[in-house]
Structures are given as C-alpha cells and as structure tokens.
C-alpha cells in the first residue's frame, strides 16, 4: 500500500499548553482511518494540520513524499467536511457543491454534469435550487460531503461530521459514508470521540489522549489487544485490575491465579489485567474462581449489565442470565478472556466501576464515598 | 418563506409593547405628519401644492465662467448635495471596509480597544469637530504649517468641495465601520476556512464569501452615511466657506427665515427621494444575496 500522508515528529503547543506531543502517523491510500479520543486529545488539531489550517511547531507533514508544511490549504489536494458543515448560506445547494469548480474556472456544462453526479452520489438529486438553510441536518451533511468530494481530493478529512445528528440518522450516515468511501476510493481521515462509530467504520483506528497517540491498529486489535489502561477503558467497557505475572501464561489478580495466553513479561512483573464484561461467565458461588455480591442490575435489552463487588473492587459483567441484587455469585474466566498490559501512566485511573452511576447503586455509591 | 399565520400575541404581550407604541407614535409618526402637513399648506394653512412645485421650478441666475445663466435653484442644490454625499459615502466604504475586516479578525481585547477608538470622536459635538477641521485645513492652518515645515508647498483646501467631503467623511466614518464590523464579527470563521479548503486564495475568499456575506452590513453602512450626509448642513458652511450651499443648508435657511412651509416641503421631498433610493438598493441586494 502506498503512503499518502506521513506525519513526522509533530509537536504543537498553544500558549505553552502542549496539544500534540511528537505525533508520528502514516496514512495509506484508500484507507478509512479514524482519529479517536476524548475532547482535547489533539485529534482535531491533527486533522487541521493535514488540512493546512494549523502549522506545527516542530515536525513535518509529508504528502505523497513531499513536505507540505508551508503549502496553504487551497493548494492542498485535501478537502474537509467541517464539524458544523460550514455551508455557504448565501448560495443554494447547487452553488455550494459547484463552489470549488467555479474557482477553477471549469466549463459550465462540465460543472453541471459533475454537480449532478455528486448530488446523485449523496442522494440529493432534485435539491439543486434549495437554500442550504432550509435543509435538515442530514441533508446539510450530504451537501458538505458532496462539496468536499467534487474536486476528487486524494484525502477527505471529516471533523466529527455526525456529532450533530440524532442516533438513527447517525447510523444511516455511518453506513453511507463507508459506502461513499468504497465507491470513490478516496482516503478518509475521520475524527470522532464515539468509539462505537470508530470501530464500526474504520480500517485503522488511532487512539489519542493528551496529545499523544496511544495505539494504532485495526478495530479488532484495538478492542482485543489494548495497549494500556486508557485504550482499554476508552474502547468499550473494561474491568482493569492490578495483577502480577507469575510466569509466562500465569497471572495473579483479585487473590486468584489464572491461566492466560500472554507471555514475554519478566518474572513477578506488575501488570494491568483487562477482562471485558461480556467475557465473564456467571457460575454458582462454590464453582467460581472469584466470588462476589451483586450490587446492581440494569436491563439493557440485549443483556443485563450487573455490577459485582469482589473484595471491594466493582466489576462490570454483561450476562443474559438474570441474577438479583445481593445474590452471591461465582465468576469463571477463560484464559483467552484475560488480556495483560504493561503498566503505564494510566494504570489505576480506569476500569473500576465503583463510581458507575445508575439509580440502583446510588446507595452503595454514597457508602463508598463516605468511606474515603 | 412566507409566514401565513402571524401570531398576534397575547394581551399581556401587546400591553407590554404599549409604552413603546405610544412613544414611537408620539415622537416619530406625529412629527412626520406635521412635516407633511406643513409641506402641503400655505401660511394660512390652506391646502396647496405650491411649496412642492416651487422646489422643482424655482430658478435663480448664477455666473459661471463669466456667463450669466438661469438654473433651477433647488434642483442644483439637491444635485450638489447628492454628489458630495455619494463621494463621501464611497470614500467611507473604501476606507471603512478593510478597517472593519481587520478589526473583526483581531483578538477580542484588540477589537474592544479599536472600536472604542473609532467611537471616541462621536462623543464630541459635531460642531466642535467641524471647527477643529477648520483650524486644520485653513490656508494658515495646521496642515499647511506641517507642509511648510517639511519644505513642501502649502495647499488650498478650505472653501473647496474637497474640504466639505473631508468633513463629511470624518463625521460619518464610524457609521460605516460599525455595521460592517458587526456583521463581520458574527461571520463564522469556518466559512472562511471552508472557502480556503475548497480552493480559494485570499482574493477568492474575499470576493466569494466575505463580501457577499457582509453585504447586509455594507447596505446599512451606506444608509447610515448617505442619508445624514445628503441632508447635512453647517459642514459646508464652515469648511466650504459657504460656497457650496447644500440641501440641508437650504432647509435651515428657509427655517431661519421663518418660511416653515417651504422648509417642510424640501424636507418632505428629500425624505421621499431617499426612501425610494433605499427601497431600490434593498431590493437589488436582497435579490443578490437570497438565492
């Protein structure tokens, strides 16, 4: 695969506040890459650097092997779908989409043809003469995409484009964006804070936090093999526990020794252990590897989400079997459900559900807080 | 879109608006009715068109380049007023637009400071401002003092149309900047970024996005400069040495000569002409902006 964009040792600070800290990232041809992270993690700044709206304090932006640090946005073969679309309110749908072509002095009938093709691609045929301010959020979104794609850029940058849409529409647009990306073969760089969105749409996910890249990988890698406690917590739900590697394939946590599939750690190395809520089986108390008391149960349709207190640490478990509050249960964990991570600066910050809020555990919350 | 159902509002709403309605009708509508009433009556308060026709037909003889000729007194005065007002407005627009843009892109603190600086002269009475310009522009004034100390030839400005235009531009400049600035300050910065992203260089961004979106501000700026400068008086008397009698001066003159009915007629005609002009301007631009 061909590298389209390379970010090399990018560092950027605003007023002494570091927003990007030595970012290195390769973006390949025809890939759907997502920058994922909480607000303030630097994902939008990274996007704006590629678009040319920001310049790095240090480091290089390489486009097809050429350094484009000093190339202004209008000369970059990259277009952006802005967060709130940024459609031109004084122009109708047709003129918004035709905007880049008019700037390039493309002949009139060619513009007509290209705009019609684009509007067909985003399912807006017949909307040519509508005012953009009269469109719904989803339609405005489509105009923004058509306008950004009409010049056939090498890369399309999308800055949280679905954030303003309601859930149903967001799901539809996710599928549609994916379809458009496949149909056009253009590289998409997508920014979101929604991990579900990132997992379902991307070829590659880049997890960012505090201006640094935490992990780059496929959605499956990111979910199953998180690099550290931050990634494990941010992507999906995770129980993250302090553990000790006794030897290869043997780890101790929560007062029990488990078999696992990880190796390569030094003997008695302290580690973070991740167990996904859906990977824990509930068994009778006397048959469990771990024993605990159910403190809350929430019905979520597909499954129940229960919080179990095991020696003071609150686990989240997803199960289709009904258990009741205050029930004593046993937990059984398969070796391949256990994922071992190196200790990091994020260790101990995430993965305990004692502050997990819903109506049912308000009481226990109040208790645990008063204990501190 | 047309809204067919205009809500009439509750009784409470209408009652809370009542003080304003009374105020508006008393200080805006009633005076206008009086102007119209005086314009169409003679000194005995009998209905007449005479004041109106006098505006269009009155003639006087002038000497121009040594040749005596008869001209329509008030039409000439009106034409002169219009010319100077249009020139002043254009100068205000050309100078004010970039300044408004620069201010709107500055930091919040800098914006506040610059807007305050622009408004400070407005806190002074315009008679005083006009006198200040007299002392600057006089043949032995400050400007020529500076020119002479630099070894340059003195210029004769006072008593020329240029002096009157300078005075008008100075007086009405803030009224051009402020409405344009307020539209530009509200403009979404991302629209400018979008235009740059879609292939516009700085000139393209200005021509295709900033200018069309700032048109409402430009229109109200033009209104706010053109209307007062067309009816201005005193500036021409002081800076033009009374050589350029303007329509405002004509109204003032008739008023001082206790000729209220004709003064009202001139004011009335001026008002009608301006209303028509503004309506045309509004229509031309609204067609351009709303597609």
- Contact call for residues A188 and A177 (beta carbons, < 8 A): yes
More confident residue, A227 or A370: A227
Distance CA A353, CA A58 (A): 40
Q: What does the pLDDT read at residue B285?
A: 74
Yes or no, beta carbons of B198 and A131 under 8 Å apart: no
Q: Is B208 on the interface with A (CB under 8 A)?
A: yes
Q: What does the pLDDT read at residue B62?
A: 78
Nearest alpha-carbon partner for A81 in A133, A4, A155, A170: A155
Poorest-confidence range of A55-69, A210-224, B46-60?
Answer: B46-60
Count of Cβ atoms closer than 10 Å to residue B64 Cβ: 8
Cα atoms in the Cβ-side hemisphere of radius 13 Å centred on A228: 17
Is the dihedral angle over the CA atoms B168, B174, B175, B179 positive or is it negative? positive
The H-assigned helical ranges of chain A are: 43-51, 93-103, 108-121, 137-149, 167-184, 195-201, 219-224, 229-234, 362-371
* Residue A21 scores a pLDDT above 60: yes
A residues 115..174 contacting B (CB < 8 A): 129, 131, 134, 147-148, 151
Count of Cβ atoms closer than 10 Å to residue A191 Cβ: 26
DSSP string, B190-201: HHHHHHHHTT--
Q: Is the ipTM of this complex over 0.90?
A: no
Q: Is A44 on the interface with B (CB under 8 A)?
A: no
| pLDDT classification of A369: cutoffs 50, 70, 90 | very low
Yes or no, beta carbons of A103 and B194 under 8 Å apart: no
pLDDT under 70: residue ranges of chain B: 1-9, 287-291
Buried b (16+ CB within 10 A) or exposed e, B161-188: bbbbbbbbbbbbbbbbbbbbbbbbbebb
Q: Is A69 on the interface with B (CB under 8 A)?
A: no
Tens of pLDDT, residue by residue over A226-240, are 999 999 999 988 999
Burial category of B6 from C-beta neighbours within 10 Å (exposed 0-12, middle 13-18, buried 19 and up): exposed
* Residue A259 scores a pLDDT above 60: yes
CATH 3.40.50.10860 fits A3-223, yes or no: no
- Contact call for residues A59 and A231 (beta carbons, < 8 A): no
- A72, A79, A89 ranked by CB distance to B198: nearest: A79
Yes or no, beta carbons of A82 and B195 under 8 Å apart: no
Q: Which residue has the tokens 């109200």?
A: B220
| pLDDT classification of A46: cutoffs 50, 70, 90 | very high
Q: What does the pLDDT read at residue B63?
A: 75
Q: What does the pLDDT read at residue B280?
A: 86
Count of Cβ atoms closer than 10 Å to residue A44 Cβ: 21
Q: Phi/psi class of residue A306: alpha, beta or left (left: φ > 0; alpha: ψ in -120 to 50)?
A: beta
Residues of A in contact with B212 (CB under 8 A): 90
Q: Parse chain A into domains and list their residue ranges.
A: 3-223, 237-371
Backbone φ and ψ for B287, nearest 5 degrees, come out as -65, -35
Nearest alpha-carbon partner for B167 in B99, B106, B116, B91: B91
Q: What does the pLDDT read at residue B111?
A: 94
**Reading across the β-sheet that carries A3-14, which strands appear in turn?**
A17-28, A3-14, A58-63, A66-67
Q: Which fold has domain A237-371?
A: OB fold (Dihydrolipoamide Acetyltransferase, E2P) (2.40.50)
Q: What does the pLDDT read at residue B123?
A: 87
- The alpha carbon of residue A131 is apart from the nearest alpha carbon of chain B, in Å, by 7
Q: Is B201 on the interface with A (CB under 8 A)?
A: yes
Buried b (16+ CB within 10 A) or exposed e, A136-172: eebbbbbbbbbbbbbbebebbbbbbbbeebeeeebee
Q: What does the pLDDT read at residue A357?
A: 52
Q: What does the pLDDT read at residue A372?
A: 32
Question: A41: which DSSP letter?
Answer: S
Cα atoms in the Cβ-side hemisphere of radius 13 Å centred on A371: 8
Percent above pLDDT 90 for chain A: 74
Q: What does the pLDDT read at residue B113?
A: 95
- Contact call for residues A236 and A311 (beta carbons, < 8 A): no
Q: What average pLDDT does this structure show over A68-83? A: 93
Q: Parse chain B into domains and list their residue ranges.
A: 22-57+261-291, 74-257
Q: Which residue has the tokens 């499956």?
A: A220
B74-257: CATH number: 1.10.3720.10
* Residue A358 scores a pLDDT above 60: no
Q: What does the pLDDT read at residue B233?
A: 81
- B198, B208, B210, best to mutate vs chain A, most A CBs in 10 Å: B198
- The alpha carbon of residue B223 is apart from the nearest alpha carbon of chain A, in Å, by 22
Tens of pLDDT, residue by residue over A263-310, are 889 989 999 999 999 999 999 988 889 999 999 999 998 899 999 999
Count of Cβ atoms closer than 10 Å to residue A188 Cβ: 23
- A89, A90, A103 ranked by CB distance to B199: nearest: A103
Residues of B in contact with A89 (CB under 8 A): 191, 213
Residues 6+ away with beta carbon under 8 Å from A122: A142, A143, A145, A146, A176, A180
Q: What does the pLDDT read at residue A367?
A: 39
Backbone φ and ψ for A31, nearest 5 degrees, come out as -105, 155
Radius of gyration of chain A (CA): 24
- A83, A95, A100 ranked by CB distance to B199: nearest: A100
Fold match flag (A3-223 vs A237-371): no
Q: Which residue has the tokens 């843009």?
A: B101
| pLDDT classification of A366: cutoffs 50, 70, 90 | very low
Residues of A in contact with B195 (CB under 8 A): 88, 99
Q: What does the pLDDT read at residue B86?
A: 94
Yes or no, beta carbons of B204 and A74 under 8 Å apart: yes
Poorest-confidence range of A30-39, A348-357, B190-199?
Answer: A348-357
Tens of pLDDT, residue by residue over A269-282, are 999 999 999 999 99
Q: What average pLDDT does this structure show over A326-331? A: 92
Q: What does the pLDDT read at residue B71?
A: 85
Q: What does the pLDDT read at residue B200?
A: 93
């Amino acid at each position: 695969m061909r590298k389209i964009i390379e970010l090399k040792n990018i560092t950027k600070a605003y007023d002494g506040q570091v927003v990007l800290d030595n970012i290195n990232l390769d973006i390949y041809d025809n890939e759907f890459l997502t920058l994922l992270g909480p607000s303030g993690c630097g994902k939008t700044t990274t996007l704006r650097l590629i678009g040319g709206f920001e310049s790095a304090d240090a480091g290089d932006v390489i486009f097809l092997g050429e350094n484009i640090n000093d190339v202004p946005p209008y000369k970059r073969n990259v277009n952006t779908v802005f967060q709130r679309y940024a459609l031109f309110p004084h122009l109708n749908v047709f003129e918004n989409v035709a905007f880049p072509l008019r700037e390039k002095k493309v002949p009139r009938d060619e513009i007509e043809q290209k705009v019609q093709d684009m509007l067909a691609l985003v399912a807006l045929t017949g909307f040519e003469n509508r005012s953009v301010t009269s469109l719904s959020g989803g339609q405005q979104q489509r105009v923004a995409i058509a306008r950004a794609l009409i010049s056939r850029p090498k890369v399309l940058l999308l800055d949280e484009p679905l954030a303003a849409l309601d859930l149903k529409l967001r799901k539809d647009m996710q599928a549609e964006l994916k379809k458009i990306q496949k149909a056009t073969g253009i590289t998409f760089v997508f920014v979101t804070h929604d991990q579900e969105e990132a997992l379902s749409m991307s070829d590659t996910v880049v997890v960012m936090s505090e201006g640094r890249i935490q992990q780059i990988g496929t959605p499956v890698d990111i979910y199953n093999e998180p690099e550290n406690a931050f990634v494990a917590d941010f992507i999906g739900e995770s129980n993250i526990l302090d553990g000790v590697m006794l030897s290869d394939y043997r780890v101790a946590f929560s007062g029990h020794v488990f078999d696992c599939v990880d190796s390569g750690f030094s003997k008695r190395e302290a580690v973070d252990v991740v167990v996904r809520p859906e990977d824990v089986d509930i068994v009778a108390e006397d048959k469990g590897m771990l024993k605990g008391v159910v403190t809350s149960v929430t019905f979520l349709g597909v499954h129940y989400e229960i919080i179990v207190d095991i020696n003071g640490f609150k686990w989240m478990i997803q199960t289709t079997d009904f258990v009741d509050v205050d029930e004593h249960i046993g937990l059984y964990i398969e070796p391949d459900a256990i994922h071992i991570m190196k200790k990091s600066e994020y260790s101990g910050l995430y993965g305990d559900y004692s502050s997990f809020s819903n109506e049912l555990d308000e009481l226990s919350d109040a208790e645990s807080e008063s204990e501190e | 879109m047309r809204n067919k159902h205009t809500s009439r509002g509750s009784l409470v709403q209408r009652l809370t608006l009542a003080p304003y309605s009374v105020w508006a009708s008393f200080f805006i509508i009633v005076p206008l009715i009086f102007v119209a009433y005086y314009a169409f009556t003679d000194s005995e308060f009998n209905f007449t068109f005479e004041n109106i026709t006098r505006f269009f037909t009155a003639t006087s003889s002038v000497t121009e380049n040594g040749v005596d000729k008869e001209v329509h007194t008030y039409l000439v005065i009106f034409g002169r007023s219009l010319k100077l007002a249009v020139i002043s407005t254009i100068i205000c627009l050309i100078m004010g637009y970039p300044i408004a843009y620069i201010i709107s892109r500055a930091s919040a603190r800098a914006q506040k400071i610059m807007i305050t600086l622009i408004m400070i002269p407005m806190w002074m009475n315009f008679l005083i401002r006009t006198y200040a310009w007299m002392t600057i522009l006089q043949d032995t004034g400050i400007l020529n003092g500076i020119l002479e100390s630099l070894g340059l030839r003195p210029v004769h400005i006072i008593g020329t149309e240029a002096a009157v235009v300078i005075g008008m531009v100075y007086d009405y400049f803030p009224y051009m900047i402020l409405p344009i600035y307020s539209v530009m300050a509200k403009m979404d910065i991302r629209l400018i970024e979008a235009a740059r992203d879609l292939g516009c260089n700085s000139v393209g961004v200005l021509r295709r996005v900033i200018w069309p979106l700032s048109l409402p501000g430009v229109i109200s700026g033009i209104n706010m400069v053109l209307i007062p400068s067309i009816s201005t008086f005193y500036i021409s008397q002081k800076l033009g040495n009374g050589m350029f009698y303007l329509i405002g001066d004509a109204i003032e003159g008739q008023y001082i000569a206790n000729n209220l009915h004709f003064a009202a007629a001139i004011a009335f005609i001026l008002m009608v002409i301006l209303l028509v002009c503004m309506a045309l301007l509004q229509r031309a631009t609204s067609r351009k902006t709303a597609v």
